[in-house]
Structure 1
Amino acid sequence: MSSLKTLLAAVGVAVGLAVTPVAAQESGGTLVMVVQPEPPNLAPYLSTSGPIGQVASKVYEGLITVGPDFKIMPGLAKSWEVSDDGLTITFHLQEGVKWHDGEPFTSADVQYGIMDVLREIHPRGGSTLKVIESVDTPDDMTAVFHLAEPAPYLMVALNGYESPIVAKHLFEGGNPRENETANKPIGTGPFKFVEWKKGQYVRFDKNEDYWQDGKPYLDRIVVRFIADAATRTAAVESEEVQYGAFGAVPYFDVERLSQLPYIDVTTEGYGYIAPIMQVQFNTEVKPFDDPKVRQAIAYALDRQFVIDNIWFGFGKPATGPISSLFKPTGLYTDEVIDFTVDDRMEKAAALLDEAGYPVGSDGVRFTVTHDITPYGEEWSRLGEYVKQALGQLDIAVDLRYEDVATWLKRVYTDYDYQFSSNFLYGLPDPVLGVHRQFHSNQIRPGTVFVNGMKWSSPRTDELMDAATTETDPEKRAALYKEFQQLVVEASPIVFMHEMEFVTVYNDMVKNLESTGPLGVYTNFADVWMEQ
């Protein structure tokens, strides 16, 4: 337990979710939630940007849902069978499902959405779903997936956050990257899009034709965008806002708010994502084309300091590309280069000298630009820390802070950057969340949250490919051990810390435990409010 969590527990704050009896459910009410920053679009089929998923998940759905303890539960598919050889999955779809424009949902939507949209343009779909060779539609209510090889990781990835199904009749014949649903989403979910007032809010109203009888319980969800941190905190305190996840309420305000009798705090609802905060390099531009320079930066940045002073104790130092949450599976190893040694600054300076970057007559080795993740105050403070820390090595750092859309384009389309802060999700299996960052086939200009470092190696590609299909746990662990060691040695990324997010919510919001490990990334069909 982190120092802040210990403090919260000491003052009696809930750090888990209380279970509410099913019989107490009530219908009605408007849930006002805050998301920071405002998403650049509402197209989860196009981007895995955190704010997009928090908002659009109320509209779109997947074939399955992920329940507590990662139990795979029915979604748009009511049941399924997997062949003995693992190469065929037959999904039987829910009947009576309609898109929000009134058109019927059929297996044709599943086939088109998987093969023509998610596999092609979804940031993780190109890796996660590439194993799907084809989808047959023998009738409107049956979709048959044919796989190139067994893929035990696939089922969990077919949830609405990870693999949102889109309407074929709205996408076919056009460029999915330019579809008008990017700003006016049309899905099958429990809430219908009403309007988006840029800079203010998105409004969703109850889908009266939702296929799950009696749901959703809420009449409306309003997602507010409040740029100023103090104003977000004040909105929660005054009960104008009842819910904020992913640190929408600044960490430094959590302790004070948690002492209010009507406010609860939890770190539950993030088990699916296994996020790692990182500093990533463009390995094709100087000086970060040299692994010695990248290692030097890895030594220079103090992970525990960042956790304690910027993220207020929420998190633990990361050692590599795979989270320690995978330790029980055997896929995690800490037998990698340790960048947290006592003489780390001396090692960093020596590496810079070896790389041919001595201190110049002006007292500076070189000047670089750090692009800050535009997700709020913690990230700005991280940028200031990076500047100060590298200054101790006589490296001058300029900071650049842009809006989300501009930053994403700079890093993942134009590659017009030197190094940037970021955080990516490890997800329930490395195939889902880790491979996309490091495989050579994931250098995909215009696709966000993939290999933006433009680093890869034949050996790490080989290891990831082998681990994708390896079913023997010990052999798979050995493959990932070598993979982690090679990636940490090359250091295309400085793995800073395993993030621990906080959700702050009003106690009138009930049944949040129903959201399971996906938390705010679920559709909130089962969430209700005490009237």
Structure 2
Amino acid sequence: MKIKTLLVNMTCALGLALAGSASAQEEGGNFVYLVQPEPPSLASFLSTSGPIGLVAPKIYEGLLDYDNDLNIVPALAESYEVSEDGKTVTFKIREGVTWHDGEPFTSEDVAFSIMEILKKVHPRGPASFAEVTSVDTPDDTTAIFNLENPAPYMLRALSGYESPMVPKHLLEGTDPRNSDLATNPVGTGPYVFEEWKKGQYILLTKNENYWKEGLPYLDRVVARFVPDASTRTAAMENGEVMYGAYGAIPNIDAVRLREMDGFSVSTDGYAMINPMALVEFNSTREPFDKPEVRKAISLAIDRNFLIDNIWFGYGKAATSALSSNFSATGLYKAEPEAYPESPDVDAAIALLDEAGVTPGDDGVRIKATLDLIPYGEDWRRAGEYMKQALMPLGIEIELRYEDVPTWLKRVYQDYDFDMTMNYFYQLPDPVLGVHRHYATSQIRQGTHFVNSSQYSNPELDELLAAATTEADADKRAEIYGQVQDILAEDMPVMNLFEMEFLNVFNDKLHGHDASALGAYGSFDQVWIEK
């Protein structure tokens, strides 16, 4: 017997309803929004870099989407069935969908995307689809996922942002890491890639053959790159751009714009991602190979100072390796000794002494470089704070701020760093967003946003594996409690605060918040009031 979950085509119904409410003069037009910084590529099947996520999901789609209440809604799969034992998931693939080059989208593309791309080269795909052993395609509109063990979290990882479906006919037999799709993407989404003028913009045009009747509304979507923060804000104020998310408009300007007529600020569209600001340590490099050093740095940081003075009150101090948002599912456990409410410099110095990291004649214990994620001025200011905060410990920090490709290569390809300030998405389930930080299997040189610390702990690996397949909620919570205990002691990654990103937008803009993915959504329902 099978447990069947049928997805009514809510997406098309919603699109038709909106089409009825948007008058003719509100359809069409050009929408310009900020992407900061410029994406290193558009290969979202290779990298989950934030700027890529702001553009690629307008081109590529997933099997499913999610509404703002986190309910599953159909996308390229119009329905799915989960077997009673949870080991078979059958997707009914939508008919009549074509790739932007005119080729039909079929179940063969689904099987190829999962087994050959997402499971092999995507940063999070190996965890999301770890239990998938094969995908059967008995016909063009049926894709049957065969699982070693039940994996209910997988159904939360099928958006166009998280798990894009890619064209088998363009990638089969090639090395996806060197694919032309990185700069000339071909998807099934509402917008077609038209032009990338480096250093200026990416232009997308309306997909005239899109499978959602009446959508998209817009004729053109332009992702604009503006390196200078003040210039980005000015562009918003004077109407050159209409939308900025993920720090494109610094919080210091966002709190000013929200008081002005014609602009709004919201925190909608981030429910799926659970973003966490953090510092990754290179656990293979002295003295950061010592847990005491990593813990000492955590004890010296005033997390609320970062939130209040750099992010202007948007955020919540981290208290564990897991976000407190996982409290709703019973998985979160506070670790107050590792994450104190206020800095404890004396305790930090004691830990350094215990580790044998003593001051030299100049009072300096450690000289190190902190690489900053190159995503704007807020991160530069946070780096300056870190530099100041660690001086009382005798830790002398040099800040390094490079462009996105250089930073990604340094951290995830060359492992040429001491510490790096970054942020990760913990996503709706720890299997999807947290395991990649810590599992030995996630030391995947050249893959972005995985275990760059090169941390390896066999005991933790066993716990993560057990948590992945444990169906009993209480037992799963107990396992994650042990995981958080170990990570509080070893601290390969130091969480700083649970982030609250802001959307800053012109009030004439509508439909940008139609999906739980927000700015990482497709923008197929965006329209501009005339």
TM-score normalised over the length of structure 2: 0.95
| Cα separation, 2, equivalents of 1:342 and 1:403 | 33
Hey, what does 1:150 align to over in structure 2? 150
- For 2:66, the aligned partner's letter is V
Task: Render the CA deviation track for 1:18-44: whole Å, top value 9, x for unaligned.
Answer: xx9774324211111001111100011
1:519 corresponds to which residue? 518
Matches within 5 A, 1:154-165: 154-165=154-165
Deviation by residue 1:189-232 (Cα, 9 ceiling, x = unmatched) = 00000000010000000000001111101111000000000000
Q: Kindly report which structure 2 residues correspond to 1:360-375, keeping only aligned pairs within 5 A, or say none.
A: 360-375=360-375
Partners in 2 of 1:199 and 1:287 — Cα distance? 39
The residue type paired with residue 164 of structure 2 is P
Corresponding residue for 1:277? Answer: 277
What amino acid maps onto 1:100 in structure 2? H
Q: Which residue of structure 1 aligns with residue 67 of structure 2? A: 67
Per-residue CA distance 1:388-426 (angstroms, 9 max, x = gap): 111121211111111111111111111111111010001
Contact 1:59 1:192 in 2 (8 A): yes
CA separation of 1:172 and 1:21: change in aligned 2, threshold 3 A? closer
Aligned-partner residue type, residue 47 of structure 2:
S
Contact kept, 8 Å, 1:332 with 1:481, in 2: the verdict is: yes
Is the CA contact (8 Å cut-off) linking 1:331 and 1:477 kept in structure 2? Answer: yes
2:21 aligned partner: 24
Secondary structure of the residue aligned to 2:119 is helix
CA–CA distance in structure 1, aligned partners of residues 192 and 449 of structure 2:
27
1:342: how far off?
A: 5.4
Q: Is the 8 A contact 1:337 1:485 kept in 2?
A: no
Letter in 2 for 1:75: A
Q: Where do 1:54-203 residues align within 5 Å?
A: 54-203=54-203
Does the CA contact (< 8 Å) of 1:337 and 1:489 recur in 2? no
User: In the alignment, which residue of structure 2 is the partner of 1:431?
Assistant: 431
What's the CA shift for 1:343? 6.6
8 Å CA contact 1:438–1:455 kept in 2: the answer is: yes
Q: CA deviation at 1:365?
A: 1.2
Equivalent in the alignment of 1:13 = none
Superposed CA deviations along residues 239-259 of structure 1, whole A, max 9, x for unmatched, are 110000111001101122112
Residues 335-387 of structure 1: CA distance to partner in whole angstroms, max 9, x if unpaired? Answer: 45243265710011111111112111122112111111111101111111111
Please list the CA deviations of residues 32-68 of structure 1 after superposition, one character each: whole Å capped at 9, or x if unmatched.
1001111100011000011101111100000011112
Displacement of 1:520 after TM fit? 0.7
Task: Specify the alignment match of 1:529 in structure 2.
Answer: 528
Q: Confirm or deny that 1:466 pairs with 2:459.
A: no
User: What's the secondary structure of 1:57's corresponding residue?
Assistant: helix
Instruction: Letter of the 1:207 partner, please give it.
Output: N
- Any stretches of 5+ residues in structure 2 without a counterpart? 1-16
Q: Distance in 2 between matches of 1:462 and 1:316?
A: 30
Amino acid at match of 1:525: D
Asked if 2 retains the 8 angstrom alpha-carbon contact of 1:336 and 1:488, the reply is no
Tell me how far apart the structure 1 counterparts of residues 327 and 19 of structure 2 sit (CA, whole Å).
Answer: 35
Aligned amino acid, residue 164 of structure 1 = P
> Do the aligned residues in 2 keep the contact of 1:38 with 1:199 (CA within 8 Å)?
yes
Residues 247 and 376, structure 2, Cα contact 8 Å, conserved in 1: no
- Partner in structure 2 of residue 47 of structure 1: 47
**Counterpart residue number, 1:317:** 317
Is 1:475 the equivalent of 2:483? no
**How many angstroms apart in 1 are the aligned matches of 2:366 and 2:520?**
42
SS in 1 for 2:69: helix
Q: Secondary structure at the match of 1:121?
A: coil
Return the offset for 1:97.
Answer: 0.6
| 2:296 matched residue in structure 1 | 296
Separation in structure 2 between the aligned mates of residue 307 and residue 421 of structure 1, nearest angstrom: 15
1:389 match: 389
Q: Which residue of 2 aligns with 1:413?
A: 413
2:229 corresponds to 1:233: no
Output the CA distance in 2 between the equivalents of 1:24 and 1:170.
Answer: 39
Q: How many Å apart are 1:456 and its aligned residue? A: 2.4
Alignment partner, residue 399 of structure 2: 399
8 Å Cα contact 1:336/1:484 also seen in 2: no
How many pairs are equivalent? 511
- Indicate the residue corresponding to 2:264 in structure 1: 264
- Residue 511 of structure 1 and its aligned partner are, at CA, apart by 2.2
C-alpha RMSD of the superposition = 1.2
- State the Cα deviation string for residues 256-281 of structure 1 (Å, max 9, x = none): 21122111110111010001100110
Answer whether contact 2:301 2:343 (CA < 8 A) is retained: no
SS of alignment partner, residue 222 of structure 2? strand
Aligned to 1:253: 253
The Cα shift of 1:115 comes to: 0.5
Letter in structure 1 aligned against 2:526 = V
Gaps of 5+ in 1: 1-19
**In 2, Cα distance between the equivalents of 1:128 and 1:436?**
10
Residue 517 of structure 2 aligns to a residue whose secondary structure is: helix
Whole-Å separation in 2 of the counterparts to 1:342 and 1:506: 38
- Which residue identity does 1:503 align to in structure 2? N
Distance 1:345 1:192 in 2: 54
> Match for 1:266: what amino acid?
S
Choose 326-335 or 96-105, whichever is displaced more. Answer: 326-335
Q: Name the counterpart of 2:6.
A: none
Aligned residue in 2 for 1:11: none
Give the fraction of aligned pairs with identical amino acids, expressed as a percent: 54
Match of 1:330 in 2: 330
1:84-135 per-residue CA deviation (whole Å, 9 max, x = no partner) reads 1111111111111110011111111111111001110000001111211001
Distance 2:511 2:193 in 1: 23
Structure 1 length as normaliser, TM-score? 0.94
Deviation for aligned residue 1:184: 1.0
Give how far 1:458 is off.
1.3
